[in-house]
Amino acid sequence: MPRLFFGGIHPADRKELSGGSAPAPAPIPSQVVIPMRQHVGAACTPLVKVGDTVKMGQTIGDGEGLCVPVHASVSGTVVAVEPRRHASGGECMAVVIENDFQDTPARELTPHLDPAELSPEELITVIRRAGIVGMGGATFPTDVKANSGIGAVDTLLGNACECEPYITADDALLCTYPEQVLGGMAVLMDVLKPGRTVLAVEDNKTEAISVLRSKLAQYPGIELKVLPTRYPQGAEKQLIQAVTGRQVPPGKLPRDVGCAVFNAATYASVYKAVCEGEPVTRRIVTVTGEGVRKPQNWIVRIGASFESAVAASGGLTDDVWKVLSGGPMMGVAQIDLTAPVGKGTNAVLCLSRAQNGESAHPHCIRCGKCLTACPMSLQPLYLFRFGKLGDRAELERLHLSDCIECGCCAYVCPGKLPLVEQFRAGKQALKEAKKP
C-alpha cells in the first residue's frame, strides 16, 4: 500500500453500521435551539428577540470580523434568547424557536442557475450570507478561506475522504447528491481559477466512486483521485501531501503551498446557496455506534437536539457507555443530549461499554509508538510531559500548535495516556498566555 504521508493508523472503520443508508429527513422537532457560535471566530449577536416571528432561512444572528451569520432552520416564534448547552462543552448564547411546522421560507438569497454570471466577489458574498463554514468539523468560515486563496491557489482540493471510523455522512452525500458536491466545486473553481481541481476519496467508498465517475463528464476540469484508506487522510495537510506531494511547513497554511481544501459537505452547501438560494439550515448527520439501536444517516435541522437525532435511530441501547459529537478519534463527549446539532456536527456516535478503551491507571512505558503514528512528525511523549509541567516554552519549541488532535497517538498508546486531552489543554494555555 502506498505511504502518501508520514505516520497514520488503520483503525477498524465500523462504517458498515450506517453505510449504505441513504440520508432520510429526520423528524422535525417542535423546537430548535440555534447556537450563535457555530464557526471559528467571534460569536454572532442575536438579531431577534423573544416574541418575534421568524421564517425558515431568515438571518437571526450575525457579527463583525471573523464571523458568519446563522439562520432559522424552521419558521415559528422566538421563545427564548439565552445561554444554552453547546456540543463543544459549556454554554453558548442561542435563539430558541418554537416551530409552527409551516417552513415558511424567508427567501433572503436569490438562486442563480448560472453561477458563472457572478463575479468571484459576488460569489463570496453569497457564500458568506448563506453562513457556510467548513462542514467536516473545522467550521472555519468558507468565505474567508476562499477570499484568501484568490491569486494564491493553483490547486483546489475536494476532501471526501471521511477517514474517521463510523462516520458515513459524506459517503451518503456523495452517493445521493453528487451533483451538489461537484456543482459546488465548479462554483469555487469560478472563484479561485485553479489550474487543477481534484476530488479525493478513499478506496473504501466503492459506491460513491462509481457514482462520481458516472457524473464527472458533466464537470470538465474536475478529476477524481482515489486514495488508499488510511487515517487521518482527510486532515488538510495530509490530504495535500497525498494528492500533490507538497508539504505544508510548520506554522503555515495550505495557501502557502498553493492549495485550498474544502470538505464535500461544504461544496454541497456552496451549491445550494448559490444555485438554489438556500442558506445552511440542515445537514447530513450520521447517528451510529454499538450504543444506538438503528444506525442511520439523517438530514437533520440545525438546532435539533442530539436527543431527538438518537430517538430517530431507535434510542440508546441498555449498555451505552458514551455519546460523542463526531467520531471516536476527534469527537467530543457529551454530558447532556439536549445540546443542538450545529453546522459542524457530522456524527452522533453512541459507544457501548465494550468500546471502553480507557485505563484507570494511564502510564507511559516509553515505547515510542506515538512518535511513528503522529502524522505531523511531532513528539507526543514530550508534548504530554511538558504539558503536564506547564512548560509553555517547551510546548512552543516542540510545535504543539501544529498538532491536529487526530488522536493517532492516543490510539496506539499501550499506556492509554489521555494525550489529546492534554494537548488541547496545552494549546489553551498557550492561547491564554498570548492575550494582552
Say whether both 210 and 317 belong to one domain: no
Say whether both 150 and 261 belong to one domain: yes
Final residue in a domain of this structure, among 354, 385, 417: 354
Within a domain: 359? no
Within a domain: 360? no
CATH number for the domain including 243?
A: 3.40.50.11540
Collapsing DSSP to helix, strand or coil, 310 comes out as helix
Q: Alpha carbon of 178 to those of 43, 192, 231, 262: distances in Å?
A: 32, 21, 24, 15
Say whether both 245 and 377 belong to one domain: no
Is the per-residue pLDDT at 106 higher than 60? Answer: yes
Say whether both 129 and 269 belong to one domain: yes
Is the per-residue pLDDT at 87 higher than 70? Answer: yes
Say whether both 173 and 308 belong to one domain: no
Within a domain: 319? yes
Beta bridge partners of 136: none
pLDDT at 417: 93
Collapsing DSSP to helix, strand or coil, 219 comes out as coil
Within a domain: 262? yes
Domain count, the chain: 3
Which of 1-5, 127-131, 232-236 shows the lowest per-residue confidence on average (mean pLDDT)?
A: 1-5
Say whether both 380 and 321 belong to one domain: no
Say whether both 233 and 124 belong to one domain: yes
Q: What is the pTM (predicted TM-score) of this model? A: 0.95
Mean local confidence (pLDDT), 156-180 = 98
Mean local confidence (pLDDT), 154-162 = 98
Say whether both 145 and 251 belong to one domain: yes
Say whether both 92 and 130 belong to one domain: no
Within a domain: 12? no
Task: Retrieve residue 19's grid coordinates.
Answer: 453505510
Is the per-residue pLDDT at 337 higher than 70? Answer: yes
The phi, psi pair for 5, rounded to 5°, reads -155, 160
Cα Rg, the chain, nearest whole Å: 21
Say whether both 348 and 380 belong to one domain: no
Percent of the chain with pLDDT strictly greater than 90: 93
Within a domain: 119? yes
Say whether both 348 and 210 belong to one domain: no
Beta bridge partners of 61: 46, 70
Are 303 and 73 in contact by the 8 Å Cβ rule? The answer is yes
Query: Angle of helix 206-215 relative to helix 178-192, nearest 10 degrees?
Result: 60
d(CA 67, CA 404): 22
Mean local confidence (pLDDT), 264-293 = 98
Secondary structure (DSSP) of 362-405: -------HHHHH-TT---HHHHHHHHHHT-HHHHHHTTGGG---
Average pLDDT, whole number, for the chain? 95
d(CA 19, CA 4): 26
In which band, very low, low, confident or very high, does the pLDDT at 89 lie, cut at 50, 70 and 90? confident
Task: Identify the CA nearest to 287 among candidates 336, 229, 337.
Answer: 337
Final residue in a domain of this structure, among 276, 302, 327: 276
d(CA 332, CA 339): 12
Say whether both 139 and 184 belong to one domain: yes
Task: Identify the CA nearest to 184 among candidates 103, 236, 123.
Answer: 123
Is the per-residue pLDDT at 65 higher than 80? Answer: yes
Within a domain: 27? yes
d(CA 425, CA 433): 12
Task: Retrieve residue 248's grid coordinates.
Answer: 505544508
d(CA 23, CA 145): 28
Q: What is the DSSP letter of 187?
A: H
CATH number for the domain including 296?
A: 3.10.20.600
Find the domain containing 214 and state its range: 110-276
Name residues whose C-beta falls within 8 Å of residue 434's C-beta, 6 or more positions apart in sequence: none
Final residue in a domain of this structure, among 242, 276, 310: 276
Is the per-residue pLDDT at 1 higher than 70? Answer: no
Is the per-residue pLDDT at 342 higher than 60? Answer: yes
> What are the helix (H) ranges across 62-136?
120-129
Read off the pLDDT of residues 189-232 as tens digits, 9 standing for 90 and up: 999 999 999 999 999 999 999 999 999 999 999 999 999 999 99
pLDDT at 4: 80
Within a domain: 61? yes
Collapsing DSSP to helix, strand or coil, 62 comes out as strand
Mean local confidence (pLDDT), 398-403 = 95
